[in-house]
Amino acid sequence: MRSSLIASTVLHGTLLVAGLIALPDVERMSAEPVESLPVELLSIEELTIIQQGSKRAKQLAEASVAPTTKPKPVEDPKGETEVKSEAPVAEKPAPRQTQSAAEPAPQSEPEPSVDPQAPKQAEAEPQEVAEPAPEAEKPKLADKLVKVMPISKPRVRPRPEPEKKTKRDFDPNKIAALLNKTTPAGGGVAQDDKPAALGTANGRTNVKLSVSELDALRSQVARCWNPPTGAQGAETLKVRLQFNLSREGEVTGAPQVLNSVSHRAFPAAAQSAVRAVYRCGPYQLPVAKYDAWQTVIINFDPQQMLGY
Amino acid sequence: MNSDSVVEGALQGAASDMSYLSLFLEADIVVKLVMLGLLAASIWSWAIIIDKVLLYARTKKQMERFENVFWSGQSLDELYKSLGSRANDGMAALFVAAMREWKRSLETPKPAIASLQQRIDRVMDLTISREAERLEKRLLFLATIGSAAPFVGLFGTVWGIMNAFTSIAASKNTSLAVVAPGIAEALFATALGLIAAIPAVIAYNKLQSDAGKLSARMEGFADEFSAILSRRIDERV
């Protein structure tokens, strides 16, 4: 028994040591980094500022909020897209280039040496520049150029080329095409620490009062309403009232009662609703959404407003 | 138990490597005791397993050898003379016990033959049960380890997890880094329990059936030998 006990102890010891040595350390499980979704909390004020936009906003390739609806100028769409991306650069040197276009030599000659890999293009271009074309013919040439270019161009794109192309392609008649077509709207409040957005057309499109804001307005009115509760069937006295508000939230003009209920107390109820609207002004509502609450229709329902 | 030290240990565990040695060293004292006990149980049960396997192999070989000699046609008296002097076990012990009773009854001046058969049977039964007991000694320990070790390990685990939750409460921090080391070392106790229990259960079943086979073989031999002696007795009468 003793020998087997010793054997067993030795066995266990060996296994433990072997386990300590041979078994690899616990592998660290690699946790996949979760891509974080940046969320920025904006107050309503900040949202308004973004929507109103700023003149100083950086122009992006696409409008930040809404696409413009300006009619497209008629021209080759290919040429337009090519030029458009370089529009801000092309805008300034333009007037000078028109004058210098008449002298072909200095521009066309260095080209073969600069661009030895595209002989075809080199052939095509000097020809074009050499005969100073009349102004009317230019758009056609530009089209031709656009057609020729892609064949020789795709692989090699030496740096001087695009610059040259903008010079060639420039046409004073197409300046409109070069301009960015999204117009920055409205004079927004300057906000220095954040990149300003171009904003929507008038800063107020697609504005709707949120449910909570509507509720706020309704509760402001309901606070002041004293319907004729004593009357029999008072819960049927629903009054539909339309009224206009000024920017400051004050009632302008006379509220109109839009419905009528055949009930003795209805005139009194309607009167009380009108009084309530007057009494509770000015209402506090987000100025940015003035379009939405310029004209308000409120249902005065005794059941809902007063908890009958 | 100091809760600060628990938290500290847990945080250290999170920072340091998680080798099995550190798992053991950083465990609570109760869990440590459980682990050590399970290790000792494992060592002891393996000692029993090794011992029994060797014993059964030896016994089986002895039985075969004895049967060969017994059925070789050698006279019983000669066989008894060659065997009687040394300590025997297994079938040889059975044979020697029966022969001793035979000799004692016949070599007296007044032979007691009348109930000799019964006496011989009884002596052989006694020897068989003594041999069986020798074969099955300590096997029950294996059965106990097999059934109890998982529970002991589980106890260590429950205790360790309890400590892990205490460390959560102490540090007021539910991050996995606080809990994980405690739970890992706690589960290590269950692993040890299973490591001790599984071989014990398997070996118990195997050794039990082996012991049963050996006993049955001895009983078979006893019946045969009893038949032979009975014939001799009847010849004498």
The domain spans of chain A are 46-55+76-202, 211-305
Flag the least confident range among A128-137, B102-111, B124-133. Answer: A128-137
Q: List Cα–Cα distances, B116 to A7, B104, B143, B166, B219, in angstroms.
A: 47, 10, 41, 74, 19
Q: Do B39 and A19 touch (CB under 8 A)?
A: no
> What domain count does chain B have?
1
Contacts of A23 in chain B (CB under 8 A): 20
pLDDT of residue A66: 57
Question: Is B227 part of a structural domain of the chain?
Answer: yes
Mean pLDDT of chain A: 65
Where in chain B does DSSP place strands (E)? Answer: none
Query: Which of B17, B18, B46 lies at the smallest CB-CB distance from A12?
Result: B46
Secondary structure string (H, E, C) spanning A63-117: CCCCCCCCCCCCCCHHHHHHHHCCHHHHHCCHHHHHHHCCCCHHHHCHHHHHCCC
Question: Is B89 part of a structural domain of the chain?
Answer: no
Question: Is B94 part of a structural domain of the chain?
Answer: no
Q: Is the pLDDT of residue B232 over 50?
A: yes
pLDDT of residue B186: 86
pLDDT of residue A221: 80
Of the options 3.30.1150.10, 1.20.120.1200, 3.30.70.270, 3.20.20.300, the CATH number for the domain spanning A211-305: 3.30.1150.10
Q: Is the pLDDT of residue B65 over 80?
A: yes
Question: Is B20 part of a structural domain of the chain?
Answer: yes
Question: Is B116 part of a structural domain of the chain?
Answer: no
Confidence of residue B2 (pLDDT cuts 50, 70, 90): very low
Share of chain B above pLDDT 90, in %: 43
pLDDT tens for B71-97 read 888 888 888 888 877 767 788 888 888
Q: Give the residues of chain A that fall short of pLDDT 50.
A: 77-138, 142, 145-146, 148-154, 156-157, 161-166, 190-192, 194, 201, 308
pLDDT of residue A278: 85
Q: Which residues make beta-bridge pairs with A296?
A: A243
pLDDT of residue A118: 44
pLDDT tens for B142-190 read 999 999 999 999 999 999 888 888 888 888 877 777 778 788 888 889 9
C-alpha radius of gyration, chain B, whole number: 29
Confidence of residue B47 (pLDDT cuts 50, 70, 90): very high
pLDDT of residue A72: 56
Contacts of A12 in chain B (CB under 8 A): 39, 42-43, 46
Print the domain residue range for B19: 3-71+137-236
Q: Do B47 and A25 touch (CB under 8 A)?
A: no
Q: Do B39 and A11 touch (CB under 8 A)?
A: no
Question: Is B214 part of a structural domain of the chain?
Answer: yes
Contacts of A5 in chain B (CB under 8 A): 43-44, 47, 51
Q: Do B43 and A25 touch (CB under 8 A)?
A: no
H helices of A153-301, in order, are: 160-169, 175-178, 211-224, 266-280, 290-293
pLDDT of residue A75: 52
pLDDT tens for A280-300 read 878 888 888 888 888 888 888
pLDDT of residue A109: 44
Q: Which residues make beta-bridge pairs with A245?
A: A251
Confidence of residue B44 (pLDDT cuts 50, 70, 90): very high
